[in-house]
Amino acid sequence: MKVLIWTCGFASQHAGSDIYREAVNKNFDVRIAGSRSNPIPMWVEFCKYKPDWVFCLAIHPRLSEFYRKIRESNCKLLFWYPDQCDGLRDRLWRTEYKDLADALVFSILDTAKKYDNLAKDVYWMPQYFDKALCYDRNGKLPLRLDTNKEIYDLCFIGSTDGLRRKWLIDLQSMYKCKFVIVNRPGTPNEVRGIKMASIYAQSKIAINIQRRNFLNPDYFSTSNRAYNAMGSGVFYINHALKNMELMWKEKIHCVTYDNTFNQLVQTIDYYLKHEKEREQIALAGQQNILEFHSLEKRVGEYWKVMEDGFKKEKR
C-alpha cells in the first residue's frame, strides 16, 4: 500500500514530518509533499508516485478541487484533524468538507462524534506523545526531578487567554513556577522536544487550565498538553472532563479538579505535600502514555485504517 502524506508544511509545528518519520521507521511505502499554502508539489508527487491513499493534513476549502481530483483518480483520501471545531470551522466541516474524504480521523472524541456522518468511515484516535523528539543524546527521556538541576513546584507550557493569564499570574506569586507562554507556534519562545520534556521532568506538577469555550464538552476532550506532560513523566493535574475513564483513571494516571481556581490550589497543595503518592501517579501516567499513546503506536493505527480500506477495495 502506497501512502502520500500531504502535510500542512515543514516547519516544526506541523505534524506531517513527524508522522512521515515514524512511517519510514516502520518501513511503510510512504512519501511526503505539498503544503496548505502550495498544493502543487503534492500534486506533482501524486502524479509520479500514484498512491493508494493520500493522508491529508492540509485541510482548507480552497483546496477542494485537489481533493476531488485525488478521488477521481481512484485514490482514497483521509483527512487527519487534531483540533477543536467551533464557529467557522464547524460550518466548514458541515458544508465544504462533507463527503470530500473516504475517511476522517479526529484526535478529539467530541469532534468525531459531532461529524460521524461526514464520511463513510470516521474514527477517534487520540493525540500522542512524540517520545523520539524528547530523547537525550543517550536515547533516553530526561531524568525525573534531577537534583543537579533546578526543580520547580509548578509548570505550564502553552498559549494563554484572559483566564489563563490571570490564574498563572496568581499562581506565580504562590509557588516556584516555570511558565512558558507560547501564543503563536513557531515563535522563538516555543519549546518542543527535549527542552519541553526537560521542563516537565524538572517540575513536581504540571497543570492544565482549559479555555472557557471548550469546558464540559459532551465527550472526552483534552489538549495534547496532557500527552506531552504525562509522557515526560510529570504529575499532571487536568481540567474536569467527561468520560476520562476512556483513557485514564483518576488518581491512578493523573488527577482532575473542578475548573475553579480554589480547587486547583487545593489540589496543588495536597500533592506538593504528598510526594510518594504524587510520584506513583506520575510514573503510572507516563507508563500509560508510552505504552498506548506514543506517536509510534498512533502511526501504526493510522496505517491500519488505510490498510483495512485498501483490502476492502481489492476484494
Higher pLDDT, 241 or 107: 107
Lowest-confidence segment of 6-20, 71-85, 251-265, 274-288 by average pLDDT:
6-20
Lowest-confidence segment of 45-54, 149-158, 175-184, 187-196 by average pLDDT:
187-196
- The topology under which CATH files domain 131-293 is Rossmann fold (3.40.50)
Per-position b or e across 55-79, b if 16+ CB within 10 A of its CB? bbbbbeeebeebbeebbeeebbbbb
pLDDT at 281 over 70: yes
pLDDT tens digits along 191-232? 889 999 999 999 999 999 876 655 555 555 677 899 999 999
Higher pLDDT, 110 or 217: 110
- For helices 193-201 and 225-232, angle between their N-to-C axes, nearest 10 degrees: 70
CATH code of the domain occupying 3-127+295-308: 3.40.50.2000
3-class state of residue 199 by DSSP: helix
DSSP 8-state code for residue 180: E
Q: Considering Cα of 217, then 219, then 223, then 225, what sign does the dihedral take?
A: positive
What's the pLDDT band for 315 if we cut at 50, 70, 90?
very low
CA distances from 142 to 136, 146, 292 (A): 7, 9, 20
Residues of the chain with CATH 3.40.50.2000: 3-127+295-308, 131-293
Q: How far apart are CA 244 and CA 221, in angstroms?
A: 8
Is 29 in contact with 1 (CB distance < 8 Å)?
yes
Higher pLDDT, 242 or 294: 294
pLDDT tens digits along 234-271? 999 998 887 888 899 999 999 999 989 999 999 999 99
Is 153 in contact with 205 (CB distance < 8 Å)?
yes
- Note the pTM of the prediction, 2 decimals: 0.91
Among 128, 137, 153, residue whose Cα is nearest residue 291: 128
Mean pLDDT of 46-55: 98
Q: How far apart are CA 19 and CA 137, in angstroms?
A: 22
Lowest-confidence segment of 32-36, 68-72, 242-246, 270-274 by average pLDDT:
242-246
Mean pLDDT of 287-305: 97
Among 20, 22, 14, residue whose Cα is nearest residue 32: 20
Residue keyed to cell 474524504? 101
**Largest Cα–Cα separation, the chain:** 64
pLDDT at 120 over 80: yes
